[in-house]
Amino acid sequence: MGRSARRPSAHPGAVIDPDAPVAVVGMREPCPCGSGKRYKACHGRAARFESATLVTRPFAGLPGECDWVALREIVPAATALVRTTAEHGAREVTVSTVLPLAWPGLHRADGTIFIGLQTQTTSGDAGRDVAHAVLSAIASEPGTPVTDGAAPAGTPRLQDILEPLPFEVTVHDGFDFWMAEGAQLNTEARESIERANSAVVPTRRLTSVEAAYWCEIGARRHLRWVLPHPEDALLDGLARLHSAGALAITDGARYIGAFRADGLVAPVWDLPPHVEADELETPALTFAARLEEAMAGVSPLTAVERGARAGVVSRQLTLR
């Protein structure tokens, strides 16, 4: 068939509804809607646009949004339990930071469902990708991992399939939670988990505030705190505290910058080497109140505060 030849159009009597749902087929196959065009030139266009749309706050609206971001970005080994709605099976699902081989999901042989947040594949909407992993794991046979993480067009978002229950995080010292209790491992599997465990950065979650994590990296200790505030207001507040010499989280601590991930900002402090996680509970509460007060300021930033804000912004890093 020459370049100028055209595929036959739909049957002359057919009525094409451009908004009607169609099955997903190969991009070069005829579109199931009956238009006579290839799928990529018809309904596939909308599918590609939907899959490429970037959602900057993929976990917005979920209970514990800041902890979702923390588990996806900064916490090495942690889990939390969620439950799907009745429409999606009312299944309990264990959300984990990472799974073996960075699988997006796993239906374990004992019937439990796991999903991993630290994966490489993305459609541009992490919330939709995680929902895809949840639904795929539920639909798969026990003992089967989910290896395809990018959600196809039409996949519901995570906010649409989960019950709005508290998101309670448990931090682990290693990845033994990958295996069912009492599971017998061969030598190779045990050595693999031991290697993963040896790379885990000691981490503790503060209990007095949300999504604040103490960690120990080599000889240094840090506090990394994912905050829910709009970025501009947060930066103004941090600038006011910085210019007032009140940006340290505790005595001897030093603000070293922040990272931006999944639409939220997480300040990071370098801590004195002797400070343990439980010693930060009261200082974190005090700092949270100080920050709220600084963000509540309605007057424009002074020249000194604007300079401090520029310094704060220069120490931000965007992840992903």
Q: 52 or 13: whose pLDDT is higher?
A: 52
Write down the pLDDT at residue 121. Answer: 66
Write down the pLDDT at residue 46. Answer: 53
Q: Mention the CATH class of domain 203-318.
A: alpha beta
Q: How far is 299 from 315, CA to CA, in rounded Å?
A: 24
Rounded average pLDDT over 219-231: 97
Q: 11 or 230: whose pLDDT is higher?
A: 230
pLDDT at residue 10 tops 60: no
- Whole-prediction pTM: 0.82
Write down the pLDDT at residue 181. Answer: 76
Domain ranges of the chain: 24-53, 65-192, 203-318
273-307 pLDDT per residue, tens: 999 999 999 999 999 999 999 999 889 999 999 99
Of the listed ranges 125-129, 141-145, 191-195, 287-291, the least confidently predicted one is 191-195
DSSP H or E run through 266: strand 264-271
Q: 36 or 112: whose pLDDT is higher?
A: 112
242-256 pLDDT per residue, tens: 999 999 999 999 999
Which phi and psi (to 5°) does residue 250 adopt?
A: -160, 170
Alpha-carbon distance values, 194 to 110, 114, 184, 188, 198 (Å):
22, 20, 15, 10, 6
